[in-house]
Structure 1
Amino acid sequence: MSDDVLDVIVVGAGPGGLLLTRRLAQAGVRFVTLERHQDVGGIWDIDAPGSPMYESAHFISSRTCSGFPDFPMPEDYPDYPGHRLLLRYIRSYADHHDLRQHIQFNAEVSSASCDDNGVWTLQLSDGRRLAARYLICANGVTWEPNLVNWPGQFNGEIRHAVSYRSAQEFRGKRVLVIGCGNSGVDIACDAAFASDQAFLSTRRGYHFVPKHLMGIPADVIATKGPKLPFRLQQWVFGLLLRLLNGKPEKYGLPEPDHRVFESHPLVNTQILHYITHGDCIAKPAVERFDGDEVVFADGSRERIDLVITATGYQHASPFLPGDAWADKNGRPDLYLRMFSKRYDNLAVLGFLEFASAAYTNFDHMAELIVADAVAGRDAPLASKLSEKKRSHQPDLTGGHRYIATPRHANYVDVDAYLKVLGQVKREIGAAA
């Protein structure tokens, strides 16, 4: 294979890579999917080196809304499956479609370069080289931790959340979790019941969304309920959260500087339970370290043994050349959040954020990526899409004002995004 030029190479055999693999197999092209670990699953394999998974992790979208297209999760799964059930489900999808025959395991990509003829050459860590006319990166966005430093000297231990696995790590310690995303809040909940004392530090206030409303998963109600104008949705849901939870300030948390649905949903109200019981104490932003203590923006101090920084991840494919894409507010600047504007034969699946279950939406994206990949550089479809990559600048936010953070730089309103995606497919002749 190293002597031949393939049509397509996919990097990564997580959920996105499997969707691409299935579509490429159906297209009948010469391709291979490379996976650096020994099996499929991506981040959901807690035993894969570098995985950010932890024992208490569960899906934040429900079983009902989160399955692969035409392959629903088993009926006996709970509403919000844990990581081990998710991994079993992902691997059953690969088995169902016999996808492993197209995947090379233990195949880590060290570097990739594109020559003047538009051929990508991939150097693997075992010394092999593979070449293809089109490269698709589906390596995920939660492998490269975003590391943050604070002034001062700390005598305790500081770790990024990517290294966290189990609440057992907190026994006998005073633990500070920095960051109020979904994983940060999950970890703070673990610390609340397992540590001597837990603290949660956040610079910004958020809206806390319950996983169930009237016993029904919240995303099922949002998906299958009546479609309301966005501003009315904000008003209704904001009022509902106020009735259910009260104001975040009541819990010692900052007042949100944005309305509901203007940031990635924080689907966890368990943390509010722990805060009201004193098992976790809300703190403002960290100002500096001072020996055994952490000093916060309000001047308060706490003695801390272990700091977990849940400060997010870089959207990175470290093996790609530095000019693969331009940077936009800390995130890759990609056409439709998936096509390089520099290389017509480079695409990425998964480098976007939206408040919706991923797999069905990823499959819609995979359809267009695969259509481009198999079209050939001079085909009308590829030519039309190439022009759009350079000139088309659609509004993918649906006119919403998302908060100004790197995470939200590539945030899209899923309805607006799918509408534009469908329009592009029809215009270039790629619609199924």
Structure 2
Amino acid sequence: MKGSVAIIGAGPGGLVAARWLLSQGFEPTIFEQGPMLGGQWTGLSGRSGVWPTMHTNTSRILTAFSDLENTGSVSHPSAGNILDYLNRYADKFELAPRMRLHTNVDRLSRAGTGWLVDHSSGTEIFDRVVVASGRFHSPAIPPVPGLETFSGSEGVSSTYDYKEPGRYRGKRVLVAGCAVSALEIAADLAQLGAEVVLTQRRQRYVLPKFAAGVPSDHRIFTRYGVLASEMLAPAEIDRQLKEIVVEAGGSPEQYGAPAPNPSLFAAGVTLSQHYLPLVAEGRITVRPWMDSVAGDTVTFAGGSSADFDGIVFGTGFDLNLPFLSDDIRATLDVDEVHLDADRYTFHPDLPGLAFVGMWDQSGGYFVPLELQARWIAYTWGGAVPALYDIEQQPTIEAYRARRGTSQKTRMNLAAITFARAAGVEPHVENWPGLRRALLFGPLAPSCFRLEGTDALPDAAERFSRESAEFGAITSNDLTQREQKYWALVERAGGGRTDS
């Protein structure tokens, strides 16, 4: 064996990290503070932001790992389905004996060339550590003057704690935020029979999860999108993405919501199936951001006000890693938003330490989580060359230069970044029969088993089948739009698809 590895967290990131570290000859031990594996997908109060009626905002094909398909007829599975999937994944790779449930990691610090893990059952030294404790556990509640005085019967809470929807039936509820949890819970409340108002700082574009029979993540999170972002001007990428989003779901002002910024990059985009139709029906009212709160009365920018029984914030999460020693925190310069690391994973001054899932993105996490885990395992196991400090430092410096601006990334950008680092990004020209699927189809996990370490002989057949699901990619002929888009990339960079 190549050494011991402590993995902090038994959610999807911790499980997939353990699976790939095992494949490279390491001995992983998974520490989980809760009573069961699954992380967010457990639905447990205080440990999960999943609510009872929640379904994934990504398709079942992209909410899976490459070694275990998430089969079934449902396009967007329930949280219970995903928890069952993670248990089956853990069973397949015999991960349960490696878990220490009910074991909280109190402190992680250096110990010579190893790592000291202080936990609720004792203290141990490991050769390496993977931090996979989750990015979305500490709700960020922005300051609002007078919020502490709110006296509505249902109080102030976060979408993270939305576990009893029934308590809001017939009540006046203000939902704050414009990200996926805010829009999905606003829709949930409206359909439940609550009187719902949504307050937001800006209007985002809203992409339905399912449009024209195809999951939207099969259309928007593509390999083409990454190649285009490398070759074309940002304004052209903005235009193309907006074209796809508006064609699929219209523009918010068509439904009676405020008009967003003409630039999709400036406005942002959120996946939600029912939110805009409910706005159009008058079952959700949209207001500007809050100016102040006094008792049960909320005053909005512009001077209008209304009384509410409850306020639910869906305004994002702070990065919270309380177990890191002061030394590690200082090296990473950790704050509520940022963590300095080469592609969110390694720091040259912390050899033997890696992070999984600590970036903020649009789209599903399962595919990039697996690719990040493979990069870690392959780097430590020697399947891909180890990085030198001089290679890592520029990416960290570039990240630091963007501090203070939005660093939310898209699922396809994260996936391709990790796939390239792990040496498993397929060369499109090697697969002429899959050309359209590889460029404009979904980034299904099977496409990252076509080439490189751990390539599978049936990967091409699986990827072809998964790309054709829901009638998305049923031929290898590019549509007129795809031809037009790809011609722009070819003119800009010679059709380069192998970087």
TM-score of the pair, normalised by structure 1: 0.85
Corresponding position of 1:194? 192
Corresponding position of 2:459? none
Larger CA deviation: 211-220 vs 80-89: 211-220
Q: Measured at CA, do residues 104 and 386 of structure 1 come closer, stay the same or move farther in structure 2, by a change above 3 Å?
A: farther
Whether the aligned pair in 2 keeps the contact of 1:293 and 1:303 (CA below 8 Å) is yes
Whether the aligned pair in 1 keeps the contact of 2:298 and 2:305 (CA below 8 Å) is yes
The aligned runs of 1:32-43 (5 Å cut-off) are: 32-43=29-40
Corresponding position of 1:305? 309
Whether the aligned pair in 1 keeps the contact of 2:343 and 2:395 (CA below 8 Å) is no
Query: For the residues of structure 2 that align with 1:405 and 1:182, how far apart are their CA atoms?
Result: 22
Query: For the residues of structure 2 that align with 1:419 and 1:394, how far apart are their CA atoms?
Result: 17
Query: For the residues of structure 2 that align with 1:329 and 1:66, how far apart are their CA atoms?
Result: 27
Q: Measured at CA, do residues 419 and 234 of structure 1 come closer, stay the same or move farther in structure 2, by a change above 3 Å?
A: same
Corresponding position of 1:371? 378
Amino acid corresponding to residue 81 of structure 1 in structure 2: P
Out of 118, 125, 139, the residue aligned to residue 145 of structure 1 is 139
Cα drift, residue 223 of structure 1: 5.8
Corresponding position of 1:210? 208
Q: Measured at CA, do residues 184 and 262 of structure 1 come closer, stay the same or move farther in structure 2, by a change above 3 Å?
A: same
Corresponding position of 2:429? none
Cα drift, residue 178 of structure 1: 0.4
Corresponding position of 1:102? 98
Q: 1:389 and 2:396 equivalent?
A: no
Corresponding position of 2:492? none
Query: For the residues of structure 1 that align with 2:395 and 2:422, how far apart are their CA atoms?
Result: 10
Q: 1:14 and 2:11 equivalent?
A: yes
3-state SS of the aligned residue for 1:90? helix
Query: For the residues of structure 1 that align with 2:189 and 2:93, how far apart are their CA atoms?
Result: 40
Cα drift, residue 35 of structure 1: 1.1
Out of 314, 320, 324, the residue aligned to residue 316 of structure 1 is 320
3-state SS of the aligned residue for 1:193? helix
Cα drift, residue 12 of structure 1: 0.7
3-state SS of the aligned residue for 1:88? helix
Larger CA deviation: 342-351 vs 259-268: 259-268
May I ask how many residue pairs the two structures share in their alignment? Answer: 410
Out of 279, 292, 295, the residue aligned to residue 291 of structure 1 is 295
The aligned runs of 1:13-412 (5 Å cut-off) are: 13-47=10-44, 49-76=46-73, 78-115=74-111, 117-126=112-121, 128-152=122-146, 153-156=149-152, 157-222=155-220, 229=228, 234-243=238-247, 245-257=249-261, 259-260=263-264, 265-322=269-326, 323-324=328-329, 325-327=332-334, 330-374=337-381, 381-382=385-386, 384-392=387-395, 408-411=406-409
Larger CA deviation: 87-96 vs 63-72: 63-72
Cα drift, residue 225 of structure 1: 9.8
Cα drift, residue 239 of structure 1: 3.5
Identity of aligned residues (%): 24
Whether the aligned pair in 2 keeps the contact of 1:252 and 1:283 (CA below 8 Å) is no
Cα drift, residue 108 of structure 1: 1.0
Cα drift, residue 395 of structure 1: 7.1
Cα drift, residue 139 of structure 1: 0.8
Amino acid corresponding to residue 249 of structure 1 in structure 2: E
1:316-339 CA deviation, whole Å, 9 max, x = no partner?
221112343114783212111112
Query: For the residues of structure 2 that align with 1:54 and 1:47, how far apart are their CA atoms?
Result: 9
Larger CA deviation: 100-109 vs 410-419: 410-419
3-state SS of the aligned residue for 2:29? strand
Amino acid corresponding to residue 103 of structure 1 in structure 2: M
Whether the aligned pair in 2 keeps the contact of 1:16 and 1:349 (CA below 8 Å) is yes
Q: Measured at CA, do residues 120 and 87 of structure 1 come closer, stay the same or move farther in structure 2, by a change above 3 Å?
A: same
Cα drift, residue 234 of structure 1: 4.3
**Bigger share in helix:** 2
Cα drift, residue 34 of structure 1: 0.9
Query: For the residues of structure 2 that align with 1:333 and 1:27, how far apart are their CA atoms?
Result: 26
Structure 2: gaps of 5 or more residues: 230-234, 425-451, 454-499
TM-score of the pair, normalised by structure 2: 0.74
Whether the aligned pair in 2 keeps the contact of 1:251 and 1:282 (CA below 8 Å) is no
Q: Measured at CA, do residues 343 and 72 of structure 1 come closer, stay the same or move farther in structure 2, by a change above 3 Å?
A: same
Q: Measured at CA, do residues 13 and 275 of structure 1 come closer, stay the same or move farther in structure 2, by a change above 3 Å?
A: same
Query: For the residues of structure 1 that align with 2:397 and 2:416, how far apart are their CA atoms?
Result: 12
Corresponding position of 1:399? none
Cα drift, residue 97 of structure 1: 1.6
Amino acid corresponding to residue 257 of structure 1 in structure 2: N
3-state SS of the aligned residue for 2:270? coil
Query: For the residues of structure 2 that align with 1:344 and 1:205, how far apart are their CA atoms?
Result: 43
1:361-382 CA deviation, whole Å, 9 max, x = no partner?
222211221234456xxx9944
Whether the aligned pair in 1 keeps the contact of 2:182 and 2:314 (CA below 8 Å) is yes
Q: Measured at CA, do residues 380 and 223 of structure 1 come closer, stay the same or move farther in structure 2, by a change above 3 Å?
A: closer
Amino acid corresponding to residue 104 of structure 1 in structure 2: R
Whether the aligned pair in 1 keeps the contact of 2:223 and 2:412 (CA below 8 Å) is no
Query: For the residues of structure 2 that align with 1:121 and 1:370, how far apart are their CA atoms?
Result: 20
Amino acid corresponding to residue 110 of structure 1 in structure 2: D
Structure 1: gaps of 5 or more residues: 397-401
